[in-house]
Structure 1
Amino acid sequence: MTFLFAINPVSGGRDKSDWEEGIRQFFADLPHTVHVLELNGKTDDELVRQQIALHQPDRVVAVGGDGTIKCVGTQLLGTDTVLGILPAGSANGLARELGIPPDIEASLSVLVNGTPKPVDVISINEGDICLHLGDIGLNARVVKHYQDNNWRGMFGYLRAVIKALQTRQLLRVEINLGETCVSRAALMVVLANARMYGTGAVINPDGDMSDGQFEVVIFRRLAIWEILKLFWRYRPFDPRSIEIYPATSISVETRRKAYFQIDGEYRGRINQLKAAIRPGALTILVPPEIAP
């Protein structure tokens, strides 16, 4: 097989030279062809597209965090080429969701011995996609602070959470779920294609990335301590504060513009959003015991 590795040299604030060295050592005695591409953070989409066209790889591997995975995965939507993941970011939410181990040797083994698993993606506003989790409101503001200040790691995330809590506001949202419309005052609204954030906090316990639907998770009024628990660990859901609706397509409107993020990348402020599921649009390598 032919592998193309797309390495983000700055994801997670860590040097990736050990990952590249580990890749070359792992494949040194294997009968596979390996190509390595270093991303630059400016023309990544074009670089990945060009290298795929040049090498025609069987498997394209994202070496980085959720943003890197999304960049690479976007180029593979609707194709037969399989996406591999080496989790080298700060939180690695999607890798955690799919059971991909965090160490180099074990995750490299998944690239060769893993099972291809078709997963759904969420189309956002007809021009973007969400692989993992997108949201408007409180967490999107956290992501903005995290990026604007170039904070790294879990401590940086904690600083961003504390800063966002100082100016938290409730949103007035109208959500059209097709047969159901709901109007709420909410801290945030999450489009969940998965179960948990990269921190390990489970917000959508019954989420399944291959079930042909996503969930809309509405977080209403919560005490500060409950909000902190929300970001770092599973907490029992209080139905008076948190609601979950399954959906295949929705539209959302907010009374005023709200902070918006997709897969850990801040997207600006919006007051309208449309989303629809794309079943099985991307195939990702997962450990054999994870695949159905």
Structure 2
Amino acid sequence: MQPPQKLKLLFAINPVSGGQSKESWEESIKTYCEDRPHELNLLMLNGEDDEDRLTQEIETYKPDRVVAVGGDGTVKMVAERLLNRNIPLGILPAGSANGMARDLALPTNAEEALNVIVNGRVQPIDLICVNDKDLCLHLSDIGLNAQLVKYYHDNNWRGKLGYARGVLRVLLRKRPMNVEISTAKGMMRREAFMVALANARMYGTGAVINPEGDVSDGYFEVIIIRQFSWPEFLKMFWRYRPFDPKKIEVFHAKSLTIETRKRAYFQIDGEYRGLIKRLDARILPGQLQVMLPQEEEEV
């Protein structure tokens, strides 16, 4: 029997993501590796110089895997440090918003998630380049949801109650935008409450805004919320049925430009980025390697 492969594992641990201590995750990591040949390096993030410290640790330690222990923000920060490096990203979903982990069907149980990191398969996934400088792993948008992200963080709201307060405030103040969207197929004008660029399928809340999304297909989806409709909104949280295209329009793109008549709220992967009047985006196919569960063999 072939001995198990010895791996050098670098864990980037966000100690406060989700508002909960990560001591149990640390313990699970150490316990998992106790009787295995893997070499561990645990890097505790501090929210100050994490990017530089992680980059330096990757260059000096030369790990076989780098693992983000936290939520979507931690995953994105780690992923950006791995671009143009032949090192796969592992994810231990330990945040309040674990949208990327859900989208990739990663287990939430610590031992199962660690098994994926050690014994899973390497899958290249796409990224979206926004305005030639920002990377979107998951979902970006202008309009209603970006406004919600701003309110949520400005008021330091937490949990489902905070989210509900933010939703109520946004809906009371909702105003449609006039947008022009230019793609390789031409230009369209729309009045919309929100335009999303979706590399993945769902938000961290579990809302499935892009049911047919695939992070490895070389495209992103453009979702235009043309009318606010409770029945269409509820479809995102229950068993999927096709959206009414008169209310929610969806199409594929490899690149586009969005221009708005007035400045619009803008967010990338849950981080509010301010008010904008123009957005350029293009797909970066297969730019990030991620550890995913092994595919089940057909019987």
Which band: TM-score by shorter chain? over 0.9
Q: Which residue of 2 aligns with 1:249?
A: 255
Q: Which residue of 2 aligns with 1:187?
A: 193
Deviates most, 273-282 or 139-148: 139-148
- For residues 58-207 of structure 1, the aligned pairs below 5 Å read 58-207=64-213
CA distance in 1, matches of 2:226, 2:82: 36
Asked whether the equivalents of residues 65 and 91 of structure 1 are also in contact (C-alpha less than 8 Å), the reply is yes
TM-score (norm 1): 0.95
Q: Which residue of 2 aligns with 1:209?
A: 215
TM-score (norm 2): 0.93
Say whether residues 1:229 and 2:234 are aligned partners.
yes
Say whether residues 1:10 and 2:16 are aligned partners.
yes
Asked whether the equivalents of residues 106 and 293 of structure 2 are also in contact (C-alpha less than 8 Å), the reply is yes
Asked whether the equivalents of residues 229 and 235 of structure 1 are also in contact (C-alpha less than 8 Å), the reply is no
1:118 CA displacement = 0.3
Deviates most, 199-208 or 25-34: 199-208
CA distance in 2, matches of 1:117, 1:65: 20
1:228 CA displacement = 5.1
CA distance in 2, matches of 1:180, 1:212: 20
What SS does structure 2 have at the residue aligned with 1:218? strand
What SS does structure 2 have at the residue aligned with 1:281? strand
Asked whether the equivalents of residues 97 and 196 of structure 1 are also in contact (C-alpha less than 8 Å), the reply is yes
The structure with more radius of gyration: 2
1:141 CA displacement = 0.9
- RMSD, matched Cα: 1.6
Count of aligned pairs: 290
Asked whether the equivalents of residues 91 and 198 of structure 1 are also in contact (C-alpha less than 8 Å), the reply is yes
Q: Which residue of 2 aligns with 1:283?
A: 289
What SS does structure 2 have at the residue aligned with 1:107? helix
Deviates most, 155-164 or 15-24: 155-164
Q: Which residue of 2 aligns with 1:270?
A: 276
Structure 2 unaligned residues grouped into runs of 5+: 1-6
Out of 8, 20, 26, which is 1:20 matched to? 26
